[in-house]
Structure 1
């Protein structure tokens, strides 16, 4: 339910909710609208000028404890894990991306990266306001990227914010951008995807040559030292769906995952981030950046690795996730 809304001078169409949107009808509506959304090859769609707000947010402590157990965080402290506000804002974000004004189809959106900034520690017993809007739409060599911003405020201060990047694949005139090649591999998905592509065949190398001084190459990825090995059960997606509300069929069962081209169910991308951060904790103000590289099939065995602020999740030689977490100066409590 929404109430009416725009403060004078606000450039955005602000819509205030008195309760979180129900996800099932939102996702169904977004799925039904998806075939009618056809992004232009140039990726020059208009950014929706809509801001969704939910006030008076109180944390369900039982649900929080269940989330902490599923993701590996310690339970019982009066503090929110750094990833938990993403779960709180997820219904608003889905409502925004399922709307007619959002130019990209909900079906097929790929969650490629997330950045989180926590400006201070967040009490689990606090009261908060959530706000979500689309910050930008930019052309990508594989389609169009949307940056969705979620903010959580206490009083008149933003205490936590995130920027999630979603890629809609479609025909495009955009030239390849080498700096985005890290996202060209099949990433973990938050939203029902298109069929994954097979990896390109190996090509026999040419004889060694001296590199041209006018051309620079990126250094090869150096794996971080392994810290732990996790055996992930086939129910990880279902368990996370219960505590997060993200019941995408690709995460729930092999049969539903096969409908979208996966041999087995895959883990939620935000679960992989949370599980890594449970091993890489930071108190108080912190900045987290993570990029999703390849889906984690369930069941499977993965390796968590870390060095300094950097962390990653690997399955054999396959890189699933890279990221870093850095402490920031600021208020701790």
Structure 2
């Protein structure tokens, strides 16, 4: 039975795999009639010991330039990332028609009470008239400047998202870091169905039940942190030199990271690996010229432990915190950045 399901899923993925707009990635249909590339570039620079990393000139513009040259047509950003201006500059400098590039940005977590106004600010920074996908970054809301929690019902926020779509400011709208109960509430009360859910998905956090739920409801899953703990020395559960992964990679003449990305794509997930290195960016999109077998998929699937790399436990006292609560609460990384 599992083999039959795998074959059907693979066929669905393959049927949608047609190059578009000069890009290397295939496209996946969304529930609103639009389509999204099957792989994109993540652009969040992350955190260091001082908090959120400072975005210096060129830090995001150069990687996006390299990505577009390599055949990427999906670029993921957010108001929180503080790099929308560089994303827009790279897109304009590329010479690629705007309509051929799928731009994702997200509502600020510390300004969730006026969606249209916040999207207009993002569009001004991007120097664009629309984005292809606008996401509620998190059901957890903060007061401006991250000065404590703000209790905003995400259903009210979703109404603002629907207004943004109806105004043509966003072609598609979706959510990020929501759980199934929260999505059910939007489906039951909203006028427009979310087209995309962006969450952490990788070998260590397979999210199989959530992915199945989204498929049943016609929602495409986009995967941030697609490599999970693989390159985190403090989380040694999966390593890039694992013999099983190395053997599968060698069989296909690919790298282990390419195998991981292809695995997610064949699961019907849209991975958005981030990198600021030109060779890594080029390598990550070179995954559309081979297929993993059902045996490969099953072997890779055994790494799943349903454990998060990005837990956000420091926000778990918020009433709309979407994940399971933890006894080990880490410091809020934004506190030292503001």
**TM-score using structure 2 length:** 0.24
The structure carrying a bigger helix percent of its residues is: 2
The structure carrying a bigger strand percent of its residues is: 1
**TM-score using structure 1 length:** 0.24
Whose Rg is larger?
1
